[in-house]
Amino acid sequence: MRLDIVSIFPEYFAPLDVSLIGKARDRGTLDVRVHQLRDWAHDVHKTVDDTPYGGGPGMVMKPEVWGEAVDAILASGASDGSEPGARPRMIVPTPSGRPFTQELAQELSAEPWLLFACGRYEGIDSRVMAHYGERMRVDEVSIGDYVLAGGEVAVLVMVEAIGRLLPGVLGNAHSVVDDSFAPGAMQNLVEGPVYTKPPVWRDLEVPSVLLSGHHGKVARWRRDEALRRTVRNRPELAAAIDPATLDKHDRKLLDELSFRVGPEDMAN
């Protein structure tokens, strides 16, 4: 997979040299190219922003600079051995975008080429997304309901979530299918707690069922813990559990937690 990232702070992407993503780059699974947006600014000050039409606070990123940057990256596709006329899918990180979810990460991990356009300030002139939206798939994407100073950290998050889904990037092929939020994983349940040796640490014991070697009991205990943690930390996920996926034991546990699943208006 080829990834182009355009930013006025390319230094933000140094972490992509390390760990899983760094190794994937070394192996050639990932071809990451980080670009300095200011390389396409022509005035002496390398200006990339201007005041917003209609007034208001902050600055907006200028369309001309973005246009030159993206055109140059598109043109480079013609010389990199990719299919003639190949276009990347463009991702614009912004708090006003569609939510970045595990499902979107899966979808993007199947793309041959992604282009991330990092805005700073109040964002990029909207005509940039309109223009390229007529030439390729463009998605504005948010990583959560809080506001970052720019899209760089959001792109790091997305690249890590996408990159670990690429074939051969994770050592253990099983770890992806067990993920919380993976399609077909325990739907609507987050994962429970995990333990390793030693069996006692600072007077705290590992739950004895995990040492029992009884796979059925271990599986049941893990599901109980996942249900408890989902109710506690993610009540909105727990409320959306399909009652048909709950067994008698699950229903008893949720009852003990005084938690009701399913449509609210179906009281009793």
Among positions 113-152, residues that touch ligand 6GU (CB under 6 A) are 141-144, 146-148, 150-151
Which is catalytic among the residues 88, 93, 152, 164? Answer: 164
Half-sphere exposure of 109 (CA within 13 A, CB side): 21
Instruction: Rule CB under 6 A: choose which of 7, 94, 109, 230 binds ligand 6GU.
Output: 94
Instruction: State which residue, 8 or 141, has the beta carbon closest to ligand 6GU.
Output: 141
Report how many residues bind ligand 6GU under the rule CB under 6 A: 13
Nearest CA to 1 out of 154, 152, 158 is that of 158
Are residues 140 and 129 in contact, defined by beta-carbon separation less than 8 angstroms?
Answer: yes
Cβ-based neighbours of 24, under 8 Å, separated by 6 or more = 30, 163, 166, 168, 169
Shortest separation between residue 153's beta carbon and ligand 6GU, angstroms: 8
On whether the CB atoms of residues 151 and 119 are closer than 8 A, the answer is yes
Q: Does residue 173 touch ligand 6GU according to CB under 6 A? A: no
State in angstroms the smallest separation of the CB of 256 from ligand 6GU: 36
CA distance 67 to 69: 5
Q: Is 115 exposed, middle or buried (0-12, 13-18, 19+ CB in 10 A)?
A: buried
User: What's the CA gap between 89 and 3, in Å, rounded?
Assistant: 10
Whether 265 is catalytic: no
Q: What is the closest distance, in whole angstroms, from the C-beta atom of residue 143 to ligand 6GU in the complex? A: 4
Site membership for ligand 6GU, residue 154 (CB under 6 A): yes
For 5, 130, 203, the CA distances from 113, given in Å and listed in that order, are 11, 20, 51
Residue 11 a catalytic site member: no
Helix (H) or strand (E) holding 200: strand 200-201
Shortest reach from residue 154's CB to ligand 6GU, in Å: 3
Binding mask 212-241 for ligand 6GU (x = CB under 6 A): ------------------------------
How many other CB atoms sit within 10 Å of the CB of residue 226? Answer: 19
**Residue 7 touching ligand 6GU (CB under 6 A):** no
Residue type, 151: G
Closest separation in Å from C-beta 89 to ligand 6GU: 16
Cβ proximity to ligand 6GU: between 147 and 266 the closer is 147
* Interface pattern 52-91 for ligand 6GU (x via CB under 6 A): ----------------------------------------
43 catalytic? Reply is no
Residue ranges binding ligand 6GU (CB under 6 A): 93-95, 141-144, 146-148, 150-151, 154
Enzyme catalytic residues: 95, 122, 164, 179
